[in-house]
Amino acid sequence: MKLQDIKEDKSLWERKAVDGVGNVLLVEESYYDGIVACVESEKAVQMRFYKVMFGLGDNVKVIRAKSQFEAVGYYLIEVMKYGDIHDVVVKEMEPTEQIEWECVGFPTYKTLEEIYSENEKTGGNTEPCVVVSLED
């Protein structure tokens, strides 16, 4: 059973306002396990790509992490050797965003997901990592 199946068959569920609780979703008992599985899969850690750099655009790195805070922390560990750390900027990026990979005559582009999967480590994929360092 998929979440879409539950959404489409309105005979399986009903919205109701319960005093002291608020809005709830009443679901046929036989579908409870399927709904729990769908909710738990949605709660799974979603790794995202973040572009992190100093305020002036120096030392740009794309980091795959669970949150922007984890990305900044990992970035700071990576760049500690630079001494003066100030104005760190972080921006979330889409996995489909194109990065210029090489330019010999004509530029070649790859998506962040392609770059990550080519360099993916064999360990768990919930640890932050630098996907690529970017140059201006």
Q: Which helix (H) or strand (E) segment is 133 a member of?
A: strand 129-134
- For residue 100, with 0-12 CB atoms within 10 Å meaning exposed, 13-18 middle and 19 or more buried, which class applies? exposed
Q: Are residues 8 and 59 in the same domain?
A: no
Mark whether 104 and 123 lie in a shared domain. yes
Residues 67, 102 share a domain: yes
Mean pLDDT value of segment 8-14: 63
Same-domain pairing of 87 and 115: yes
Same domain (yes/no): 116, 74: yes
Domains identified in the chain, total number: 2
The pLDDT of residue 122:
45
Residues 37 and 69 both lie in one domain: no
| Tens-digit pLDDT profile for residues 48-103 | 999 998 877 778 999 999 889 999 988 888 887 766 667 888 999 998 999 888 87
Residue with tokens 């690529």: 132
**Residue ranges in 25-95 assigned as alpha helix (H):** 32-43, 68-78
Between 133 and 103, the higher pLDDT residue:
133
Domain that holds residue 77: 48-134
pTM over 0.85: no
Average pLDDT, the chain: 78
